[in-house]
Structures are given as C-alpha cells and as structure tokens.
Amino acid sequence: MAESGVTHRQDMGLAPVVARAFDRIAGAESPRHCHPTAQLLYAVKGVMLVETDAGQWIVPPTRAIWVPVGVWHRTLMLGEVLMRTVYIRDDALEGLPSECGVVGISPLLRELILAAIDLPLDYAPDGRDGHLVQLLLDEIKRMPALALSIPEPASPALQRLCRGLREHGDDALSLAQWARTLAMDVRTLQRRFVRETGLTVGQWRRQCRLLQACEHLARGESVLQVALALGYASPSAFSAMFKRELGVPPSLFYR
C-alpha cells in the first residue's frame, strides 16, 4: 500500500519517553497515520481495532498494541475508549520489538503508564521520574506477545480469499472451491497462504472468528448472542474456544 496519510508528531522536549491521555467516543477513528517515535497504544477502558498494512489487531483493556517507528496505522474505537499512549524516541528503543503486535499488560505496567502521564517533559533522568521511566521501559521489554491478530497476505488472490472468509465465515467456499476459483491447486494454495501469512488457512479462519468475537463482545453483546452470531452450537462451546485461545473466558476478557 502506498504510504499516504499524516505523520503525527508529539511534543517530547528532551524526554526519551512521554505518555499522553486521550479520551475518544464510540465510533471515533484516527485516520491512517504514523509517528516518528515508537508507540505503545493502551486503553484503560474500551476496545480498539488497529489496522496496519500487515493486518488487524483487537486491543481490549487487558492488552496493548506495540507500533514501531514509522508504521502506518488506523485506529477505530469500538466503544468509548480511554486511551493511554506511551511514545518512545528511537534512541531509547534498544531491546524493544521491531514489529507490530498485541502484548499483555501486567498490573505493574498499567500503573507505570498511568504514572508516566503526569510526568513533566523536563523530568530529571537521574531522579525519581527518570527511574520510573526506566522501569517502564524495562516492563515494556518483558511484555508477552499474544495471538490477537489476523495477518494480511500480500498477493491479490489470497487477499480475495481472506475477504471471502472474513465476510462469509463458515458459509464461505471450501478450500478446494477457492483453489479452483483462484486457478491453482489446493496444495499450492496452502503453501502460498502459509508463506504469506505464517498461518494455515484453518488457523487464519480461527483467528478471524476470534477477532470477530472480540468485536461483538466489545459492542456489549452477550456470550449467547456472540455464540449464535458466529455459528457455535452452544455458548459453552464458544466459551471453551475463547478460553483455549486467550486464557480467559469471554465474560472476563474486557474487565
């Protein structure tokens, strides 16, 4: 995709790390943009959908998304969102991730982010504020990566397949039917899909359904409503899948 959009610059003074608070209403959108700094995007309340050229991520309050320097992205608020963002200058990035991804937020990291919002731009690096920032960076380096994304393939043919799977779910064509539609055999389709996304078609489909479930839950739908909407035989079957993939039942995911 062409790099069209806006570069957002934060006033960081001389500080290597700055945290900011932004509150957004449901449905608000940050159009495609990038930053000259890395960004840890976190919400203490609400759920965000973040899109990059590489894929989509769902970000609930128990998670954050790491966005490296210069990565073009768009953010959509799936409900009222109280966003807390950490910006990190490129000279303070040693040991931090080089790719986008959803990460876990520990109670300590959450409190460090909230505390950093109140720091002045001219905080003393050798004082209490500087030590807080260093601990914040150390905790960011310890963040566990989580499977809450659906990677986007590069080729138009496989992008077409993904659109079909995303829009029609279990009603989509079979893999053999898709292979015929895309003028390739099934094994070639499978190999290309893994090469471009890192997932099998089945794994990608499960991730897609998981993110769709997160979107439904973020909009306030009940577990029963989400289970029925996604074609599960029962709420318990849906809850079992959700807990197996994300470690918590859907009823606790956004708390």
Q: Domains along the chain?
A: 6-141 (2.60.120.280), 152-252 (1.10.10.60)
* Local structure of 146: helix, strand or coil: strand
> What digits encode the pLDDT tens for the residues 32-55?
999 999 999 999 988 888 988 888
pTM of the full structure: 0.69
pLDDT bin (cut points 50, 70, 90) of residue 119 is very high
> What digits encode the pLDDT tens for the residues 65-110?
999 999 999 998 877 889 999 999 988 888 888 888 888 888 999 9
> What digits encode the pLDDT tens for the residues 105-114?
889 999 999 9
Q: Which residues pair with 176 in a beta bridge?
A: none
**Whole-number pLDDT of residue 109:** 93
* Local structure of 154: helix, strand or coil: coil
Which amino acid would we find at residue 193? Answer: F
Q: Taking all residues of the chain, what is their mean pLDDT, rounded to a whole number?
A: 86
